[in-house]
């Protein structure tokens, strides 16, 4: 029980962090 669950949680946290800090937008643009 330590496979896809961790990946999904990590992606969700990373996605939220990107939106909060708006760092992804600057790197992608």
Q: Is 28's pLDDT higher than 90? A: no
Listed in sequence order, the residues at least 6 apart from 25 whose beta carbon sits closer than 8 Å to its beta carbon are 18
Mean pLDDT of 3-29: 80
pLDDT band at 12; cut points 50, 70, 90: very high
Q: Provide the percentage of residues in the chain whose pLDDT is more than 70.
A: 69
b vs e for 3-28, b when ≥16 Cβ sit within 10 Å of the residue's Cβ? eeeeeeeeeeeeeeeeeeeeeeeeee
Output the average pLDDT for the chain.
79
Evaluate whether 18 touches 12 at the Cβ level (below 8 Å).
no
pLDDT in tens, 14-25: 888 878 887 666
Q: What pLDDT was estimated at residue 13?
A: 92
């Amino acid at each position: 029980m330590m496979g896809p669950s961790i990946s999904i949680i990590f992606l969700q946290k990373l996605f939220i962090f990107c939106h909060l800090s708006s760092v992804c937008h600057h790197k992608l643009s």
